Amino acid sequence: MQTDSSGQLTFEGAALNSLAAQFGTPLYVYSAQAIRSAYQSYAKACEGLADVTICYAIKANSNIHILKLLADEGAGFDLVSAGELARVLAAGGNPAKAVFAGVGKSVDEIEYALKAGVGCFNVESAAEMVRIGEVAQRLQIKANVSVRVNPDVDAKTHPYISTGLKENKFGVSMAAAPVVYAHAHQHPWLSVHGIDCHIGSQLTDASPYFDALDRVLALLDQLAAQGIVVNHLDLGGGIGIRYRDETPPKPADVLPKLIARVKTWATAQGRSMPSLSFEPGRSIVGNAGVLLTEVEFLKENEGKHFAIVDAAMNDLMRPAMYEAFHGVVAVKPNPTAQANTYDVVGPVCESGDWLARNRELAIEQGDVLAILSAGAYGQTMASNYNSRGRAAEVLVENGQARLIRRRETIEDLLRPEQDV
Ligand SMILES: *Cc1c(COP(=O)(O)O)cnc(C)c1O
């Protein structure tokens, strides 16, 4: 994001104020260039080091136009539902480069994924392994499987987005994993592909990745001793982004070191170098998007100032759900407005419906604000709470804005109840 000569904020050459006027608010705006360069920072970090696939985690932002952009860059995909797989297919992505994760895959979802030719199932329990084997046998389609292990390392992030501790619902414990692999190994319709581990999200410290990798490699030694050779490592996603003052590691700081450690291990064991994959979501799209919202009213209660805006918790859940911080700026300077310390809140009937607290802003009714770093877990977590339609989405590329999701209408909201 940049500021032009008149002080207006621009995103990849498009003035945010003009986009708000053209497309209305609330409006998600994404920069194609920012998404591409975030993806490339992963691809380039691994270049020439190993056979690596970067599988973009769709749940961070699942707009099919963004998936297409990433597929064109060469990305694979990490998906967690049939709906996300349908998005990959609609975007023209290659299902063979997709991995299917998630703790509760239904029989229908497994069947759909097998028929679509999904690359691998990341299996999260013994019961799920049995279910995938049954569906694969019935359809006579071999299923590639990896076991998602839970390495019990502390990712030191928000408890709701930490996934690699034994109290979390994710993955198979290190102790139970060999039995789950043994089942897959002897099953005629299951093919052991790899091992997977994803320890959490918004990680700002790289050391948990290395702890997790060491445990994964130790497990691979144990499996090899059982005659089960696993030759693919999926090391998950989770690298954080800057919302306020965080200094997360860059892919170039972490990935080459992880790959080097795998190489050292493979050499020591006399094995061939395994292929690898990573599953970044937030760090690909998070800083590539903003949410534009217009100030509906300013209001003061006993000395406390509120900016009531037209975006709400249904559009951007993160503050209400995790007390997450997002930067807020006016998209152009307002020289006549008086500065105050505002809570920026939405119209939804919940006290938890706030987007930012205690922010110094010089604004008036009708001004447009940009909620920053809203590209990940923004629109994908949006709901219709309070019967509010979801916001529109726009992709900016070289100064040109393109609508990539129209605003939901009242008819869209009522139709599923009227079509019964
Ligand atoms: C959510 C998720 C990711 C992506 O996490 P980010 O923090 O967005 O990078 C990767 N893998 C799995 C299995 C996930 O559930």
Would the annotation count 280 as a binding residue?
A: yes
Residue 281 alpha carbon to ligand 1 centre in Å: 6
Show the tokens assigned to 175. 């102790």
pLDDT digits (tens, 9 = 90+) for 224-279: 999 999 999 999 999 999 999 999 999 999 999 999 999 999 999 999 999 999 99
Residue 418 alpha carbon to ligand 1 centre in Å: 36
pLDDT digits (tens, 9 = 90+) for 2-35: 888 888 999 999 999 999 999 999 999 999 999 9
Which atom of ligand 1 is nearest the CA belonging to 283? Answer: 9
SS (H, E, C) the chain: CEECCCCCEEECCEEHHHHHHHHCCCEEEEEHHHHHHHHHHHHHHHCCCCCEEEEEEHHHCCCHHHHHHHHHHCCEEEECCHHHHHHHHHCCCCHHHEEECCCCCCHHHHHHHHHHCCCEEEECCHHHHHHHHHHHHHHCCCEEEEEEEECCCCCCCCHHHECCCCCCCCCEECCCHHHHHHHHHHCCCEEEEEEECCCECCECCCHHHHHHHHHHHHHHHHHHHCCCCCCEEECCCCECCCCCCCCCCCHHHHHHHHHHHHHHHHHHHCCCCCEEEECCCHHHHHHHEEEEEEEEEEEEECCEEEEEECCCCCCCCHHHHHCCCCCEEECCCCCCCCEEEEEEECCCCCCCCEEEEEEEEECCCCCEEEECCCCCCCHHHCCCHHHCCCCEEEEEECCEEEEEECCCCHHHHHHHHHCC
Please, what is the average pLDDT of the chain?
Answer: 96
Residue 417 has a CB neighbour count (10 Å cut-off) of 7
- At 169 the pLDDT is 78
- From the list 62, 78, 74, the residue with the least C-alpha distance to 113 is 78
Q: What are phi and psi of 311, to 5 degrees?
A: -100, 155
pLDDT digits (tens, 9 = 90+) for 167-224: 777 889 999 999 999 999 999 999 999 999 999 999 999 999 999 999 999 999 999 9
Q: What are phi and psi of 69, to 5 degrees?
A: -55, -45
- From the list 65, 75, 74, the residue with the least C-alpha distance to 31 is 65
The pLDDT > 90 percentage for the chain reads: 93
Show the tokens assigned to 345. 């809140």
Under 8 Å between Cβ of 296 and 310: yes
Show the tokens assigned to 90. 């609609």
Residue appearing with tokens 């534009």: 292
Residue 59 alpha carbon to ligand 1 centre in Å: 8
Query: Does the structure show a pLDDT above 80 at 166?
Result: no
Would the annotation count 281 as a binding residue?
A: yes
pLDDT digits (tens, 9 = 90+) for 319-333: 999 999 999 999 999
Q: How far is CA 190 from CA 120, 187, 301, in A?
A: 10, 5, 63
Query: Does the structure show a pLDDT above 70 at 102?
Result: yes
Ligand 1: list residues with CB < 6 Å: 57, 59-60, 78, 101, 198, 201, 236-238, 279-283
Active site residues: 349
Query: Does the structure show a pLDDT above 80 at 317?
Result: yes
- At 161 the pLDDT is 65
Would the annotation count 318 as a binding residue?
A: yes
For 169, counting Cβ atoms within 10 Å of its Cβ (0-12 exposed, 13-18 middle, 19+ buried), the class is exposed
Instruction: Identify which of 53, 56, 59, 168 to mutate to test ligand 1's pocket (most ligand atoms within 8 A of the CB).
Output: 59
C-alpha to C-alpha distance for 369 and 400, rounded to whole angstroms: 20
CATH architecture group of domain 94-280? Alpha-Beta Barrel (3.20)
C-alpha to C-alpha distance for 164 and 146, rounded to whole angstroms: 16
Domain 2-30+286-418 grouped into CATH 2.40.37.10? yes
C-alpha to C-alpha distance for 263 and 260, rounded to whole angstroms: 5
- From the list 184, 177, 186, 209, the residue with the least C-alpha distance to 276 is 209
- At 160 the pLDDT is 67
Query: Does the structure show a pLDDT above 70 at 287?
Result: yes
Instruction: Identify which of 35, 53, 54, 78 to mutate to test ligand 1's pocket (most ligand atoms within 8 A of the CB).
Output: 78
Under 8 Å between Cβ of 191 and 144: yes
Q: What is the pTM (predicted TM-score) of this model?
A: 0.96
> 363 pLDDT band (50/70/90 cuts)?
very high
Residue 188 alpha carbon to ligand 1 centre in Å: 30
Would the annotation count 388 as a binding residue?
A: no
Domain ranges of the chain: 2-30+286-418, 94-280
Sequence letter at residue 144 = N
Q: How far is CA 393 from CA 27, 65, 234, 377, 402, in A?
A: 6, 10, 31, 14, 9
